[in-house]
Chains A and B, each alone.
Chain A
């Protein structure tokens, strides 16, 4: 069970909803992923195209927990405003704090992220900050009382996987709240590795929406996350330098 604030989830895969080829594929991918948490962005509505379909209107919103993000915000104040707009929908109380500090790498601004998280906690939000893999920042956010830490595996949409497993392992080891690896996942093996390392969940988007077959990749990610988690719980064997026979050494039949 993944517990974030008052919410409980059986799925440990959080799925982003951006950049899918079309709503039909997206709907099937969401179903295949069995994700219970879906992220969204908040944007101005095109009021002159009222008939334009919106993915949310195709979803049974009561079947999912919506996790809006503050993407686009560059300061804590902007992030707080976006979070409040999202909450006023009446559809959610969780917020993914995303304050980007650099347009090229899309890496989060640690200071503004910290400030935004503090302000949002005071406002009573369930706060999930997207952060770099900085161990001390994760600790500081945790001390503030955030409900989960979401360190990036590598830059958003890069598909590079976990580029600093050591830092990630330090974050996981010292965590007192769920750690959700967010951003940079490319292959199912990346997601499985994150789970084997002890992450509580994985948030991904482009790895699925950008795959040749997003529906199949959604399934692959679900299975990888389940496999990684089961592997963690099962307890892997230690790595040894030399071989250790799996068949009995005694009793070999010789002529």
Chain B
């Protein structure tokens, strides 16, 4: 499946179908992060059941040092 993640065109295996699946694919499970899928910011609890449509635009952000 083709996705656009953080502005980059990427291909993930077809076994990846949900946000949780995607995070696990990149070994990001359990990390403190926030996902936005096609402009919709997801609740932490929604990752498991939110399906990834082909070609979706995904933003994965986290907190970094800043003032």
Q: For the complex, is B50 an interface residue (Cβ under 8 Å from A)?
A: no
Q: Name the one of B6, B28, B59, B63 contacting A41, with C-beta atoms under 8 angstroms.
A: B63
A16, A45, A205, A206: most-surrounded residue (chain B CB, <10 A): A45
- Residues in B with CB closer than 8 Å to A183 are 67
Q: Which of A44, A69, A85 contacts B66 (CB 8 A)?
A: A69
CB distance from A205 to the nearest CB of B (A): 3
Q: Considering the complex, which residues of chain A in the window 45-59 have a beta carbon less than 8 Å from any beta carbon of chain B?
A: 45, 47-48, 50-51, 54-57
Instruction: Find out whether the CB atom of A56 lies under 8 angstroms from the CB atom of B67.
Output: no
* Min C-beta distance of B35 to chain A, whole Å: 8
Instruction: Count contacts between A and B, CB distance < 8 Å.
Output: 103
Contact residues of A between 17 and 72, Cβ < 8 Å to B: 17-20, 26, 39-45, 47-48, 50-51, 54-57, 66, 68-69, 71
Number of A interface residues in the complex (CB < 8 A)? 39
> How distant is the Cα of A205 from the Cα of B66 in the complex, in angstroms?
8
A residues contacting B by CB (< 8 A) are 16-20, 26, 39-45, 47-48, 50-51, 54-57, 66, 68-69, 71, 84-86, 88-91, 156-157, 183, 203-206
